[in-house]
Structure 1
Amino acid sequence: MTTVVCFGDSITARKEGNPSPALTYKLSQKLPNYNFINAGVSGNTTEQAIERFAADVIAKKPDYVTVLFGSNDSATYRLVDLELFKRNITTFAKVIGPSKTILISPPPVDESLQENRSNESLLQYTTVVREVAEETGSHYIDFFTAMYSREDYKELLVGEKNDGLHFGEAGYDMLSDLIAQKLIEINLNHPKKGLLEKVIGLFFEKEK
């Protein structure tokens, strides 16, 4: 079974009313032949995450790792500057291995509810994540653009806390779809893709 570790902050960790963290719960439903491990810790910046990286990610011997940070790194009260953020994200990608790494840009925020985060700043962190993906050859998901380009993006950001940052079902549906589609895309190019036909069929059947 393919093991995927989802590494991140509260965006990765929150349950939002689900039996377990929303992201990995939804992914497990969409791709039941995969083993999803949640390695999200609320409040983490990349500086804190790098301290637990070996134990929470590498020790799990994953086939793939999603890396989603930036929401806290960009916050004015705990700012991790862009250069250090880039260095940390690059470290994650190189140690995991670019072919196994799926870098995800941070989501936008509802600025009317967020005093310490701005979409202008988050776009800068998104640019860094994209640059690292290009420079290392890692896989990339532009979550920021996927959500921010929607006219109703603020509605997608409504969750239990309703703080303009921690989203609920709609946001996790979007994020889990993007990750599931990326995993399918990667595995379609895998030399053993024939073994994955059942998994892919299950996903698209659920999407109908």
Structure 2
Amino acid sequence: MNMLKVASVFVIGAVMLLLTACSDKSKLSRLDSNARILAFGDSLTDGVGVGREDSYPSVLSRLTGLDVINAGISGETTEQGVARFASLLDQHQPQLVIVLEGGNDILRNKDLLQTKDNLATMIEQAQALHIQVLLLGVPEKSLFSDSAPLYQELAEQYNLAFDGEIIASMLKKQKYKSDPIHFNQLGYQVLAQEVYQLLQDNGAL
């Protein structure tokens, strides 16, 4: 009888450990207290519609207490982005890079297979340097659509921390926008808060 009890305790403990492991959704390692984050992207990173101090990287820096570099260029495509990405990694040596890029490819009807390849190249460049990646998806051309499937595919392929809902959801709400495709001060603040929560949920903070 005692042996049965011991065996039962062992089995229950093993099951609990397995459930704990399966429920762990963390995709990121905890950032150092002096870590630098590179926020890479186009106008939504640059902060079009507000001043730089109200862009989401600036707000995120205040929320985290970390150095968040705003590497956004308005109007940039992934073809242009991939040409400068590696040099930014070398220049800033971040511990984490947030990639929010590809919206201009979609708006300009670029070949999305090439868009995916460009983003994959950036992800591989970061991972080769052991830099963590948080990928944010952008919606397909209709602003009432969900995130383009290529982002989910990349997240699964490279085992990335990922969100495909934030941008698409916020662009459906006028209160967050300064124009049809850019956020206002409230929008960038909410975006920063959502990214902050993502970093917490994925174990970075």
TM-score, scaled relative to structure 2: 0.73
What RMSD in Å do the two structures reach over aligned CA positions?
2.4
1:147 partner amino acid:
M
> What is the CA deviation profile of residues 108-129 of structure 1, one whole-angstrom value per residue up to 9, with x for unaligned ones?
7xxxxxxxx4237x64x62111
Aligned to 1:205: none
2:58, 2:70 within 8 Å by CA — same for their partners in 1?
no
Equivalent residues in 2 for 1:47-126, closer than 5 Å: 47-76=79-108, 79-97=109-127, 100-106=132-138, 117-119=141-143, 123=146, 126=148
Q: Taking structure 1 as reference, are residues 6 and 21 closer, same or farther at Cα in structure 2, changes over 3 Å only?
A: farther
TM-score, scaled relative to structure 1: 0.72
> What is the CA deviation profile of residues 17-56 of structure 1, one whole-angstrom value per residue up to 9, with x for unaligned ones?
4453611111112111x11001101110100001111222
Aligned to 1:154: 174
1:4, 1:63 within 8 Å by CA — same for their partners in 2?
yes
Unmatched runs of 5 consecutive residues or more in structure 2: 1-33
- Determine the C-alpha separation between the residues in 2 that align with 1:19 and 1:140: 25
The alignment covers a number of residue pairs equal to 169
Q: Taking structure 1 as reference, are residues 92 and 186 closer, same or farther at Cα in structure 2, changes over 3 Å only?
A: same
- Determine the C-alpha separation between the residues in 2 that align with 1:92 and 1:137: 14
Aligned to 2:5: none
- Determine the C-alpha separation between the residues in 2 that align with 1:96 and 1:2: 15
- Determine the C-alpha separation between the residues in 2 that align with 1:55 and 1:173: 28
- Determine the C-alpha separation between the residues in 2 that align with 1:2 and 1:185: 18
1:47, 1:80 within 8 Å by CA — same for their partners in 2?
no
Aligned to 2:150: 128
Aligned to 2:62: 29
Unmatched runs of 5 consecutive residues or more in structure 1: 109-116, 189-195, 197-208
Are positions 1:10 and 2:30 aligned together? no
**Who wins on radius of gyration, i.e. which is larger?**
2
Offset of residue 145 of structure 1: 4.3
